[in-house]
Structure 1
Amino acid sequence: MDGVFYYFLLTVIIINLAPGPAMLYVLNQSVKFGIGKGLKAAAGVEAGVFFYVICVSFGLVVFFSHFPLVFQAIKIVGAVYLIWLAVTAWPKKSNKAMTTEEAKIDLDARHVFSKGLLINLTNPKIGLFFVSLLPQFIPAHASPAWLYLLAYGLVFNLGGIIVNSAVGMLGLKMKSLLNRAGWFDYVPPVLFVIIAAITIGKMFL
């Protein structure tokens, strides 16, 4: 394995550890209804991620096979989008966003899996995120391209499964930990900027 893959693994770990609506949903189901419901919620949200992994992997390969230059264009657009994500993800208030988000989450114990699935299926930003992120780690002449995209996407999906399953099992302990680690909110946006800068640097310098 080369350094790029280890860099990707680090990115996967950091991004999957960053609290978001899906993680908050899993956390609340676990705290409110127990570990079993938390794990079902985790399975649901990661099933939604898997859907986008498949769509991005087999959708982009069509472009790569017919228009090789599109790969470079996607990397440029993806780098710009990652910078935009960094700007929008930068913490704006000192108070914890978790309290606000938690108030918006439905804690009904029924259909936990399907609700977790819908959280990600109805969020097109996830698809855009994969389109932006995955090509940054794939060589320009990778063949077959779809296999690289699928493999990297599945690694990202696996990381999410591990993290969200842990959230589902730890419940209250994880909630307390995330509330104390306010500094971690700054890590993902900084990482997005670094990835974008490296991509642009390789292409133009």
Structure 2
Amino acid sequence: MITASTAALLIAVSLPIALIPGPSVAFILTTTLRSGRGGGLAAVAGIELGYVLHVAGAALGISALVAASATAFTVVKVVGVLYLLWLAFRALGSRREGTLEQPAVQDVEPTVRRSLTRGFMVGALNPKTAMFFVAFLPQFVSPGAGPIWLQLTLLGFLFILVMTVPDTVWALAGDALRRHLPRLKLRALDRVSGCVYLLMAAATATVRRVTP
């Protein structure tokens, strides 16, 4: 079982990582602007659920395999890039009419489920996240503190909890910004979202695996 001092150290080290905006923050903000508070919070929940998958992988040794195997790493990266490119294609090709305040009836979409699913995919298909859990969490494991897999699981969930707080704040901030831009055209917002997805795809494509 992890000690209070280990948990405190993990939180202290994780906070700067959580507070620095990255691709997940960009995804949360664009989702919130497009879909409102419900969609943004669903995106946060999806991303954190994707991280849970990485925690399970770290505990079972799967993440280490992805980080060390060129083939496994490439497969995860390619799938992640293709998914982000698909999101970009959908957003850039969108023909939604109206504004944030008055969307066209046919452009109202089921935001929560879609945002949750997309957030999960963004969190789960990030090879950099898998390598992060492999390189970061084991530093806080103590051989005499119980089963390694259990320690990794508890540490992983603690890290996710730390990440959830600022991610939620970003979603709420995006909702506040959305309310200040009621006349923003949906088509323009979709173009911005598409560009964000393209940048995320490019960032994912540049990730390099850990050399064993």
Name the structure where helix makes up a greater proportion of residues.
1
1:117 Cα deviation from its structure 2 partner: 1.2
CA distance in 2, matches of 1:124, 1:141: 30
CA contact (8 A) 2:36 2:175 kept: no
What does 1:35-74 align with in structure 2 at a 5 Å threshold? 35-59=37-61
Q: Counterpart of 2:50 in 1: which secondary structure?
A: helix
Q: TM-score, normalised by structure 2?
A: 0.55
Larger Rg: 2
CA distance in 1, matches of 2:14, 2:47: 16
What does 1:23-172 align with in structure 2 at a 5 Å threshold? 23-59=25-61, 111-171=114-174
CA contact (8 A) 2:28 2:170 kept: yes
1:40 Cα deviation from its structure 2 partner: 0.8
* Alignment deviations for residues 70-94 of structure 1 (CA, whole Å, 9 cap, x no partner): xxxxxxx9xxxxxxxxxxxxxxxxx
Distance 1:106 1:14, change over 3 A: farther
1:106 Cα deviation from its structure 2 partner: 6.7
Using the TM superposition, name which of 164-173 and 41-50 deviates more. 164-173
Q: Counterpart of 1:155 in 2: which secondary structure?
A: helix
1:5 Cα deviation from its structure 2 partner: 2.5
Q: TM-score, normalised by structure 1?
A: 0.57
Name 2:188's counterpart in structure 1.
Answer: none
CA contact (8 A) 1:29 1:38 kept: yes
1:172 Cα deviation from its structure 2 partner: 6.2
Q: Give the partner amino acid of 2:174.
A: G
Show structure 2 runs of 5+ residues with no match. Answer: 69-87, 95-108, 179-212
Identity of aligned residues (%): 28
CA contact (8 A) 1:25 1:105 kept: no
Q: Give the partner amino acid of 1:138.
A: V
Name 2:12's counterpart in structure 1.
Answer: 10
CA contact (8 A) 1:167 1:174 kept: no
RMSD value, Cα: 2.9
CA distance in 2, matches of 1:29, 1:16: 19
Name 1:195's counterpart in structure 2.
Answer: none
Distance 1:18 1:105, change over 3 A: farther
Show structure 1 runs of 5+ residues with no match. Answer: 64-76, 78-103, 176-205
CA distance in 1, matches of 2:89, 2:57: 27
1:171 Cα deviation from its structure 2 partner: 1.4
